[in-house]
Structure 1
Amino acid sequence: MEKALYFDLDGTLLQYGDYSAIVSEAFEQVVDRVDPAWHEIRSNAFFDAFERFDPNPYETGMAAVVEHANLDASAETLAEAWLAAELDATEPTPAAHDLLSELATKYQLGVLTNGVTHVQERKLAHHGLDEYFDTIVCSYDVGAHKPDPAMFEVAKDRLDADAYVMVGDDRDADMRPAVEAGFMPIYVNEGAELPVEVRGLSGLAALAGLFG
């Protein structure tokens, strides 16, 4: 039986520290200062643009701060500094490379992620994770964000398999819609206790028998 395993990206394959510190680094680098109020302004503008599938929500978020604070810097420069800081601050989840290397020899693998396509692809390439995957399904490609069922239908279209698995860290965005779409859900959670949950990606290897 041919099986396809899909992985969420942010929070599952990649881990972050304090996100506000990531953005602060971008402000410090470009304008040599940061105001705590800028974070809410940027965040509100970013997520509003993200939900509307704005082509560049990073730049839109920074443009709101530039206008509010009358900064002597372009939104484009700040957005690129923000993305660069984000790339540097993320780290692959422990065991990610070893696990994916092993699974890639047995199954079709995909990434199913909410995000701007070129940004998510850049994250994967930055950490050398892109080589393991047969496809990357980004919400910006689909025109819908998880938990919208359209994401999971496109995932099925991208990889032709008899059964599908979804590995993620969010019950509402990953697990519940995956079950509704007919995927086997694997919830990655450091405090996991249930049989279909694992403590980090390293625990996923113990569930290999579930995949067949």
Structure 2
Amino acid sequence: MKYNTLLFDVDNTLLDFDANEGESFKSLIRDKGEIYSEELYEVYKKINQGMWADIELGKIKVDEVLNTRFSKLMSEYGKSIDGGEWEKTYRLYLNKGVQLMPDAHEVLSKLHEKYTLYIVTNGIARTQYSRINGAGISQYFKDCFISEDIGANKPAIEFFNYVKDHVKGFNEAETLIIGDSITSDIKGGNLAGIDTCWLCKEGTVNESSISPNYEIHSLKELLQIL
């Protein structure tokens, strides 16, 4: 057995963040008395994804995203709102998002019997713990490493150094990271000297120079690799 330690990303790897985000955003907009539209949601996603990309590059801090993404959104429509208050409301909905990716329970249950599993995720600690526990998958993992707790975000080497320092007997050669993000999970694994497995949607093309060791289109395919 080549690997004994598996590091799992959370969003769109184990939990369906896209579904959670969409439902939470729709609830927020209606809660604030605004009119929801797919166009509005697409504008939000463009702003949000751009800001999280800047976090991965070390250009901005998480607090800037949380405090300004909704005010940036509504300013596109000529409206001034309290971005921090909108974030608090949005977070209440987001914390409840426990939608699982297909076959997550089955795959984790089988892997848990043979490997030591850890969670490695970017995000707000309270939200991630709430979702992980609510989805009923926390029992499969020995520990959870969340960027807010660590003070660094994937793909920064500081994030992975923290993980290495807090996993007893950590061995890069016996560790595999599984995630959906080329720029976060796969790049981070490469920087840390850890083998990587990219969980990508059918039809997704890797247009970057970042290369994973493995590529799968469903969690079940992971069982064929290990």
**8 Å contact 1:41–1:64 — kept in the other structure?**
no
Matched with 2:19 is: 17
TM-score between both structures, scaled by the size of structure 1: 0.76
Deviation of 1:79 after TM superposition, in Å, equals 3.2
- Partner Cα distance (1:166, 1:49) in 2: 22
- On the 8 A contact 1:110/1:135 being kept in 2, the answer is yes
CA deviation map 1:45-97 (0-9, x unaligned)? x759974243x9546545777998466x8944x43431243345551111111
Q: Aligned with 1:14: secondary structure?
A: coil
**TM-score, length of structure 2 as denominator length:** 0.72
Moved more, 190-199 or 111-120: 190-199
User: Residue 138 of structure 2: which of 126, 130, 136 is its match?
Assistant: 130
- Please provide the CA RMSD for this pair: 3.7
CA distance in 2, matches of 1:84, 1:39: 18
Match of 1:52 among 36, 61, 68: 61
- How big is the shift at 1:18? 8.0
CA shift, 1:142, in A, is 2.1
Tell me how far apart the structure 2 counterparts of residues 157 and 183 of structure 1 sit (CA, whole Å): 14
Residue 138 of structure 1 and its aligned partner are, at CA, apart by 1.2
Q: Which residue matches 2:208?
A: none
Paired residues, what number?
Answer: 204
Among 148, 155, 179, the residue aligned to 2:190: 179
**For residue 140 of structure 1, what is the amino acid of its counterpart?**
E
Equivalent residue, structure 2, for 1:118 = 126
Which of 186, 190, 203 is matched with 2:221 structurally? 203
| Pair 1:141 & 2:143 matched | no
Structure 2 gaps of 5+ residues are 206-211
Q: Which secondary structure does the structure 1 equivalent of 2:87 belong to?
A: helix
Deviation at 1:170, TM superposition (A): 1.4
Moved more, 14-23 or 155-164: 14-23
Aligned-partner SS, 1:17: helix
